[in-house]
Structure 1
Amino acid sequence: MSNSINKKDVTDIIKYPILTDKTTQILEDSRYSFAVEIKAKKLEIKQAIEQLFHVKVKKINTLIIKPKKKRVGKYIGYKNKYKKAIVKLHDRYEINLFLNS
C-alpha cells in the first residue's frame, strides 16, 4: 500500500465535518469530527486528514452511526448510516473549520 493517496481519494474518504454542540465543545481539546467513507480504515483516514489540512494526527477513533427512523407526516423513512471519525491532533496543530469574515 502506498504511503500517500492522491487528491481524488482524499475527497472520497473525508466527506464533511460534523458540527454539533458536542463536537464544538471537544474542539478545545484539538479533537475534530468528520463523516468519512464507511469502508475507510484508520490509516487511510489519518493520511487523508494530514494531506488535506497539513496537520499531524495523534489519534483516531471511529464509530459507525446506525440508521435512524425519520418521520415526515404519515411517512416513515430512515436516515442513512455513516462512519464518524474523531481525530485528535498534536498540540501545535489546529484545523480552522469556521470561515473568518
Structure 2
Amino acid sequence: MSQLQQERLLQVLLAPQISEKATYVADKNEQIVFRVASDATKPEVKAAVEQLFDVKVKSVQIANVKGKEKRFGRIMGRRKAWKKAFVCLQPGQEINFAAGE
C-alpha cells in the first residue's frame, strides 16, 4: 500500500459515534458506528477499520445524516451534514474503546 493511500485511510474515520442508538445496534447486530469523512466510500471505511483496529470486517453500511436547522436569534442557520458508517465485524471480532493502553 502506498504512503498516499495509507494517509487517506487515517483521515477516513473521524470518531466512534456514541449514542443510545449506536449502543443498541452494537449489542443487537454486533456493529460499530463511526463518524466518517463525507467523501468516504465503503471500501475505504473497511480498509481503515481493518488497518487501525486489526480486526476483520464483514460488511459496511453508510448513511448520510442531514444537518439540523437551528435558529440564531432571527436568523435560521443549518448545521453541517455528515456521514456515518455502520461496520459489521466478523464473528468473534471486537473493538474495545475503553481499553486505552
Q: How many residues align structurally? A: 98
Q: SS of the counterpart of 1:9?
A: helix
The unaligned stretches of length 5 or more in structure 1 are none
Q: Percent identity?
A: 33
Distance 2:37 2:55 in 1: 20
2:58 is matched with 58
The SS at the match of 1:83 is strand
Correspondence for 1:37: 37
Structure 2 residues without counterparts, runs of 5 or longer:
none
Matched residue type, 1:86: F
- The alignment's C-alpha RMSD in Å is 2.1
TM-superposed CA distance for 1:79, in Å, is 1.1
Q: Aligned partners of 2:23 and 2:72: how far apart in 1?
A: 28
TM-score (norm 2): 0.84
Distance, in Å, in 2 between the alignment partners of 1:46 and 1:34 is: 11
- Which residue identity lines up with residue 56 of structure 1 in the other structure? K
Q: Specify the SS of the correspondent of 1:64.
A: strand
Amino acid at match of 1:98: A
TM, length-normalised to structure 1 = 0.84
